[in-house]
Amino acid sequence: MQLKELSERTGITPASIKYYLREGLLPPGEAVHATRASYTERHIKRLQIIQALRHIVHLNIEQIRGILAMADDGAPRLAVLAQVQRVVLDLAVDDGDVTRTRAGDAVVRLRNWPDADSDARDALNRHIAVMESLGITLPMDLLDAYSRAVDGVAGFDLDLTAASTSTDDAILTAAVGMHMHSQLMLKMLALAQASHAIRRFDSPT
């Protein structure tokens, strides 16, 4: 198919598609000749992934390019997914001068996780430290409950990504899944807080 059809089938304007081509997010179509290119179903899928990463997960163009470039360079799937994690966790965040805790390490031991991925563990340690420095204490039994919940879902998510036929699919599943779980937590927390507030202030039993 050519550009126009690609645009119609994805709902993305030709101008935007050209932009994504320029930015290297979308691989060029096969050049039939100098002024005609042909695109495939893979391009449609790729555009859907770009849309999801942009507008659901809220990544910027550069972050998306970094992930997709790895995939296009034929990097092993696990490496690509590690990159997805790194970007979604936003490891570039500057935590400043908080004194680290080792609470994350404790979680790893508690859950009996193999502690190889130091990126994610460091991110967790840093994050817990930041929360503590903000006066949000995290007792071990809370970390226990969180990690237990997350332990269950991780195996399942892994099945999902492993079942993905293409690396592109795996990227989408992983990124959207992480984001959605985090948002789910936000919504549950809100509901829990609202419920507790009602119980505490509205019913002086």
Partner DNA sequence: CCTCTAAGATAGAGCCACTATCCAATGAAT
Partner DNA sequence: ATTCATTGGATAGTGGCTCTATCTTAGAGG
Site residues for a copy of itself, 113-132, by CB under 8 A, read: 113-117, 119-121, 123-124, 127-128, 130-131
Q: Which of 2, 13, 60, 195 binds a copy of itself (CB under 8 A)?
A: 195
> Does position 193 bind a copy of itself by CB under 8 A?
yes
Element (H, E) at 21: helix 14-22
Binders of DNA among residues 8 to 67 (CB under 7 A) are 13-16, 18-19, 22, 28-29, 31, 33-37, 54, 60-62
**Alpha helices (H) along 24-117:** 41-55, 61-72, 77-89, 103-111
Contacts of 111 (CB under 8 A, 6+ apart): 147, 148, 151
Binders of DNA among residues 126 to 155 (CB under 7 A) are none
Cβ pair 164, 173 in contact under 8 A: yes
The DSSP annotation for 146-202 comes to HHHHHHHHHHHHHHHHHH-SSHHHHHHHHHHHHHHHHHHHHHHHHHHHHHHHHHHHH
Q: Which of 35, 97, 200, 205 binds a copy of itself (CB under 8 A)?
A: 200
User: How many residues bind to DNA according to rule CB under 7 A?
Assistant: 23
Q: In angstroms, give the least distance from the CB of 152 to DNA.
A: 34
Which residues of this chain interact with DNA, rule CB under 7 A?
Answer: 2-5, 13-16, 18-19, 22, 28-29, 31, 33-37, 54, 60-62
